[in-house]
Structure 1
Amino acid sequence: MTGMDLGEDEILARQLAAVASSVGAAGGLTGRVARRMKKNVHEIDLVLPLPFAEALGRVVRVLDQAGPRFDLTVPGTQLRTDARTVRVVTGGGLGGMNPVVVTALVEALPWGEGCAVKMRAAAKEGLIKQRAGEKTAKRLAALLVG
């Protein structure tokens, strides 16, 4: 997703540092290490057979239930009336302790055919591969189409 990964690494590093601090670890050190960790990223393309306003509403409801929303402006979409981007941070992995950044771009399809939703979920991976980005993307995509 062009431009949709803007800030993911920084958000994930800060979230991991906050989790570390909450359990008594060195949050600053954790944040610096997290910036160098590999990401598990998974992207899913969906089509919702809904008008734009309804499709956007569904995406917002599902992602808002997953976690707090982050403001995001994707270049080229801020002036369009048929495209919006929503980004949240949710928990994934064992015990939901691994932060996952989820970004969804909702775009109206031509001729009223519904809306395309491009969803991207990214999480940092440690020594134990949890595939939190992949699992979160699949879980939220199932909620969107269900």
Structure 2
Amino acid sequence: MDRSEDEILAGELAALGAVAGGGGRLTGRAAKPMKKNVHEIELVIPVPFDDAVKRAADVLGGAGRAVEPAQIEPGGDRKTIRVVAGGGFGGMNPVVVTALVTRDRENSTAVRLRAAAKEGLIKQRAGEKTAVRLAALLSG
């Protein structure tokens, strides 16, 4: 099942609202019309495809928890890895991070990293900051 970023973010914010005693359901509905801070970064990693997939899975897995099963077994030309990471003040703002890893050349791999977070009244740019942070880890 492939849920949209908005559905995942609404569910994550609802869960935070429920934990905080806010009822949860209202928080999830309120999250849908909120603006989204989205940032995409295109990278070329100078490692073979299977190694790049493993690196992306390790970096994203270290930043958050998988929201959909990642298929990272060898073979194929494209793999998608998606996690929910914490961003913003105190890491409390959920950020959906998606890495599309694509076979490029024999010893290099293209990675499109996309991070999206809902923005409240205080603009934290959690999507942008998370994308930049994880891109640096993937490149290093």
Residue number among 99, 104, 109 corresponding to 1:104 in the alignment: 99
Equivalent position SS for 2:38? strand
> Where does structure 1 lack aligned partners over 5 or more consecutive residues?
74-79
1:55 equivalent in structure 2: 52
> Percent identity between the aligned chains?
61
C-alpha root-mean-square deviation of aligned residues, in Å? 1.6
Could you tell me the TM-score, scaled by structure 2's length?
0.92
Q: CA deviation at 1:70?
A: 2.0
2:111 equivalent in structure 1: 117
The answer to whether 1:131 aligns with 2:125 is yes
* Distance of 1:98 and 1:20 partners within structure 2: 11
Residue number among 85, 90, 96 corresponding to 1:90 in the alignment: 85
> Where does structure 2 lack aligned partners over 5 or more consecutive residues?
none
Q: CA deviation at 1:119?
A: 0.4
Structure 1 consecutive aligned stretches of length 4 or more whose deviation exceeds 4 Å: none
User: Which amino acid letter does the alignment assign opposite residue 109 of structure 1?
Assistant: D
Q: Is the 8 A contact 2:49 2:107 kept in 1?
A: no
Q: CA deviation at 1:82?
A: 1.2
Q: Is the 8 A contact 2:13 2:28 kept in 1?
A: yes
| Structure with a larger share of its residues in strand | 2
Q: CA deviation at 1:72?
A: 6.2
